[in-house]
Amino acid sequence: MAQTLDGKSLATQIETSLRTEIADLTNAGKPPPSLAVIQVGDLYASKVYVRRKHQACQRVGINSQDICLPTTTSEQQLLAKISELNTDTSVDAILMQLPLPQHINTATVLGAIAMSKDVDGLSPQNQGLLLSGKQGSAKVLPYPSEALLKPKLLIPCTPLGIMQLLNHYRCRLRGKVAMVVGRSALVGLPISQLLLQADATLIHTHSHSVEPKLLAKTADVLVVAVGVPHLVRQDWLKPDAVVIDVGINRQQGKLVGDVHPDVAEVASYITPVPGGVGPMTIAALLQNTVLAAQARHRVG
């Protein structure tokens, strides 16, 4: 049976070290890091995620504020709120909870968040820096870079959390075939970049890809971020592959991933759902918030 890549446990360790970093900041007379989370509308899943983020902030000593706007909020009103937070010197980091209602252009809104406060790394500037490899994260090998444990840039939280998990369990990437299923700006595209920068050989598939199973059979590392319950079955897998299941799907009141549990019989390592990528995403959010605060105060 595959060994579990225990995101919950690693996230707890990361929280412990963040408490120390935050104490260093406040002992130096600086305010604790602060995060503003904006949610537009009242999607149940978003509310649950936002609540977990605030709880995690509380555990480590980050001041978080909850900005709940009604579904009827116009794009202009949302942009005005972001502009206000961009110039608010008491706010280090801004997180826009996705998805946004359909009448709001997500790219426009993400592009309006100040680069230095863009804690999910989704503004065009931060995406561009990631693409150009300017975060300087990937070249300490054979594992994902140690530098990723302390990135210099705001890297999208879920991919950052995944790389830290791979690093923690010493999963080799250099020269390995890594396949990413799904190409969202939130997960699929940035994780592909990070895997490439860690010298993996990349296969990237999406909803139009032909014979994904055949491609997956060649992959040493398989990252699945699709949103289709149990899309990936045992017969997709190369024996001993490392499997990262990003999917969070609700099925009959239960959370299930994009990967069927029987894959654990063939894989060497696998992330559980829940308890794998989810807690690492939140840990990465906390780290990025602290990083943004340290950058503002020029410490760390």
Could you list the residues that contact ligand NAP (CB under 6 A)? 158, 181-184, 186-188, 205-208, 225-228, 231, 246-249, 277-278, 281
Of these residues, 92, 120, 220, 245, which one is catalytic? 120
State the nearest-atom distance from the C-beta of 274 to ligand NAP, in Å. 8
In the residue annotation, 97 being an active-site residue is answered as yes
In the residue annotation, 235 being an active-site residue is answered as no
Question: In this chain, which residue has its C-beta nearest to ligand NAP?
Answer: 184
106 contacts 79 by C-beta, under 8 angstroms:
no
With respect to ligand NAP, which residue has the nearer C-beta, 48 or 80?
48
Angle between the N-to-C axes of helices 188-197 and 124-131, in degrees from 0 to 180, rounded to the nearest 10 = 30
Of these residues, 39, 53, 245, 294, which one is catalytic? 53
With respect to ligand NAP, which residue has the nearer C-beta, 19 or 183?
183
- The Cα angle at residue 295 between residues 53 and 297, in degrees rounded to 5: 105
State the nearest-atom distance from the C-beta of 30 to ligand NAP, in Å. 29
Q: Are strands 221-224 and 93-96 parallel, antiparallel or unpaired?
A: unpaired
- For residue 256, what are the CA distances in angstroms to 188, 240, 264? 19, 22, 14
Residues 6+ apart with CB under 8 A from 94: 35, 36, 38, 82, 85, 86, 113, 114, 117, 118, 119
In the residue annotation, 53 being an active-site residue is answered as yes
With respect to ligand NAP, which residue has the nearer C-beta, 91 or 270?
270
State the nearest-atom distance from the C-beta of 105 to ligand NAP, in Å. 15
